[in-house]
Amino acid sequence: MTDPARLVAAIDCGTNSIKVLIGSPRGDGRLDVVVRDSRVVRLGQGVDRTGVLAEEALTRTFAAVDDLAETIRSHGVEPGRVRFCATSATRDAANAAVFRDGVRRRLGVEPEVLSGEEEAALVFAGAIAAQDPVPPEPVLVVDIGGGSTELVLGEAGERQAVSMDIGSVRLHERHLHSDPPTADEVAACVADIDAHLDASGIPLERTRTVIGTSGTIKTLACGVLALPTYDRDAFDQAVLSNAATASFVDGLVAMTVAERRALPYMHPGRADVIGAGALIWTRILARVPVPDHVVSEADILHGMAAAIGR
């Protein structure tokens, strides 16, 4: 039985979803997971256009925080071993203080608003800790969120990282207005992605291993593997063909939201925006010199939890 005194709880609140991981650090950078849960709250609804967190988005998110706070208390996690991090939408919002105050009242911890660089470092730490042995370097770790996409290229303990202001929610709201999106809308979205990749400063052509983590990438893996449900054990550490992923994405982007929602592994709150996130993923994969990639269940939550446990 897990000792409650050793448990840590990490909460990641992004643009589209809020996720919690409760577990016990093992000392080797890995984690024995006790609870993992995710809710789609769309905190970043309209932020790209308005610059503020919408009232209804705050209401949804605070309701989820109330539920997660109860889960954390029920497992006996000590307040000093709880970490709450918010990312892209909260970085960009003029009323982020309202969000931070609401989280503080509900959870009893001070929320951290991560910089893009801090977010990228935690994503890399979580994904790399799950690799044994470390794969051929340089290793590119990719996290596609609702508001931003992190690219981290690591080799021999050194990292190059960037957080780009492109994500599934942000680009969906910006470009993909039709259902299904038109060819012109898709082309505009791809051009936006390519412009950000051109300006990223990350030498993707040096990549020898690609590790993808985030809800978008994991959901796409379920589709490529034709899984009957969202099965973490089935896609974790799977090695998938970049070409097969691109082919699947072509079909997914052409679907209506209703058709995507009917896929057995698709979270209904992700169905409308996953097309934009999928395009980000394939544009990244098109620039690397390797034919396949690894899908990792370990992500920013694992990096956060490991830092708490030290």
CB 219 within 8 A of CB 266: yes
Query: One fold for both 4-116 and 132-300?
Result: yes
Asked whether the predicted pLDDT for residue 268 surpasses 90, the reply is yes
Backbone angles phi, psi at 271, to 5 degrees: -60, -35
* Each residue's pLDDT tens digit, 84-113: 999 878 888 899 999 999 999 999 999 998
In angstroms, the CA 214 to CA 212 distance is 7
Which pLDDT value is given to residue 266?
97
Mean pLDDT to the nearest integer, 34-61:
94
In angstroms, the CA 169 to CA 244 distance is 24
* Each residue's pLDDT tens digit, 111-135: 998 888 888 899 999 999 889 888 9
Class of domain 4-116: alpha beta
Per-residue pLDDT band at 6 (split at 50, 70, 90): confident
Domain boundaries, the chain: 4-116, 132-300
Give me the residues paired with residue 139 across strands: 154, 209
Asked whether the predicted pLDDT for residue 1 surpasses 60, the reply is no
Architecture of domain 132-300: 2-Layer Sandwich (3.30)
* Each residue's pLDDT tens digit, 210-240: 999 999 999 999 999 999 999 999 999 999 9
Phi-psi region of 40 (alpha: psi -120 to 50; beta: other; left: phi over 0): beta
Of residues 77, 43, 73, the one with CA closest to residue 58: 43
Mean pLDDT to the nearest integer, 51-55:
95
In angstroms, the CA 87 to CA 108 distance is 19
* Each residue's pLDDT tens digit, 294-304: 999 999 999 99
Angle between helix 300-309 and helix 116-129 axes, rounded to 10 deg: 90
